[in-house]
Amino acid sequence: MNVLLVSAGESLYGLPLDNVVEVVRALRSDVKTAKGKAAMRVRERVVPLVWLADVFASPGAQREGSFHDLSHDLSLDEAIEKARPVLEKAARDPRVASMDPRTALATLGELLEAHRFLEVAFVVRGDGRVIAGPIAREGIEIAAGLDVTGQDWSARSWFRNAMQGATYVSEKYVSAATDSVCVTVSTPVKDASGTVLGVIGADVSAAVVRDRLYVVIVNDGARQVGVVVDKIVGKRDVEVEPLSSAFAGPNLLGTAVLDDGAIAMIADMEGVMRAAS
């Protein structure tokens, strides 16, 4: 079978070339929703969209690549705007306001687990001393040997500005924790009287958000659907092996072993197109 190899999430997929019309690069802002469904206009025609990672997600699973909450489908500006209310709510959590390292750290863990557009989070006391973090969300590695507990961060611009009493967004810079380009969103932690006790902050990595999407336009002879993928690998001529009963699914035709030993799952385009309806 001739397929277009693409990646979505951590997996490789083959889309039968007989169904592929074209590949387009779209701006994130081109994607619109109607009645909870995503779509975009291609050559004066409205095409429904489906994220390939979502098609093969476990039932009920929250995929990172989903249209409605997705770090790598958000622009940096959108991720920053999402981070503002999230951090402001966390700043009002009594566990953070207590300035107790143990409870503040627990809050940071919950924050990163719930909001995948955040990369690293931390709490800093009013004198600039780090009391919790920085900790990273699952899948992000912090530089080996980085121990900042008790370190003085009072000179950092995001700290000084948040201590003035309002949420602050830093300029882009290279994070010492992850060595990636990021923006820090910081907000003051206040007591009941409005006194600023410290700062809670989080990094939004410029490396994990993007404004452009790869959209593979496919059809079944009657209609067209846009399949959003992470990367276009290229065309291949592959031999498709049927799936065993243990791995068979409604959206897969089989698997193919590539020349380099990697395994690609061959998508059943009828199932993919049903997912967009």
Cis, peptide link before residue 134, omega less than 30° from 0? yes
From residue 262, how far is each of 7, 53, 82 by CA, in Å? 12, 18, 37
**Rounded mean pLDDT, 36-52:** 87
Q: Which CATH number fits domain 76-205: 3.40.640.10, 3.40.1550.10, 3.30.450.20, 3.40.50.11810?
A: 3.30.450.20
The domain locations on the chain are: 2-72+210-275, 76-205
**Rounded mean pLDDT, 23-42:** 82
**Rounded mean pLDDT, 79-86:** 90
**pTM value surpassing 0.85:** no
Q: Which of 55-69, 96-110, 163-177 has the lowest mean pLDDT?
A: 55-69
Residue 236 reports pLDDT greater than 80 = yes
Cα-trace Rg, the chain:
22
Class for domain 2-72+210-275, per CATH? Answer: mainly beta
Identical topology for domains 2-72+210-275 and 76-205: no
